[in-house]
Amino acid sequence: MNVISNMAKPKITENFEFEETGMKLKKYIDRIFGRSLAIRELDSGSDNAAEIELVNLTAPHYDVERFGISFAASPRHADVLLVTGAVTRNMEIAAKKTYDAMPSPKFVIAVGDDACDGGIFKGSYAVLGGADKIFAVDVKIPGNPPSPAEILRGLLELMKKIREQ
């Protein structure tokens, strides 16, 4: 008799929801940005938990490039700035320069609890707070860290917001 633990069973509904969200997102990206969405990730003082989930999005299991999403090495090529981590005082100027280097229109997403409101670092002498302390944040994706599916849903929320404007 073969016994399969819960850990070994595929999460079919989770994968289906991810695919469904990705296909909706692709349609929005095609209409709004013309087939591709370039994202610049900015680590403004994180613990790397959110970055791990962002890297997972590009791995073969999730493969977000099939939905038209890519990560840009330069803010000059980015449509969206994804901010991770609480904004530290040491990163304030660099973060502002990154944002200023982006072409208009500029969209900002805060990924993770720290980027949303400062997280566990809120009130620290070395931290300004969440990304909204220096940027106009369009979408906040809470979680510590948020899953790749939650990040994808946040991108979809941004697309809907842009479409409504």
Q: Where are the domains of the chain?
A: 12-164
Distance CA 104, CA 126 (A): 30
DSSP, collapsed to helix, strand or coil, labels residue 42 as: strand
Give whole-number Cα distances, 127 to 86, 100, 115, 118, in Å.
Answer: 7, 21, 11, 8
pLDDT value at position 14? 67
DSSP, collapsed to helix, strand or coil, labels residue 10 as: coil
Residue by residue, pLDDT tens for the chain (165 residues) are 334 444 444 555 667 889 999 999 999 999 999 889 999 999 998 999 999 999 999 999 999 999 999 999 999 999 999 999 999 999 999 999 999 999 999 999 999 999 999 988 888 999 999 999 999 999 999 999 999 999 999 999 999 999 998
Q: Which CATH fold would you assign to the domain 12-164?
A: Rossmann fold (3.40.50)
Q: Which amino acid is at 6?
A: N
Distance CA 22, CA 20 (A): 5
pLDDT value at position 143? 94
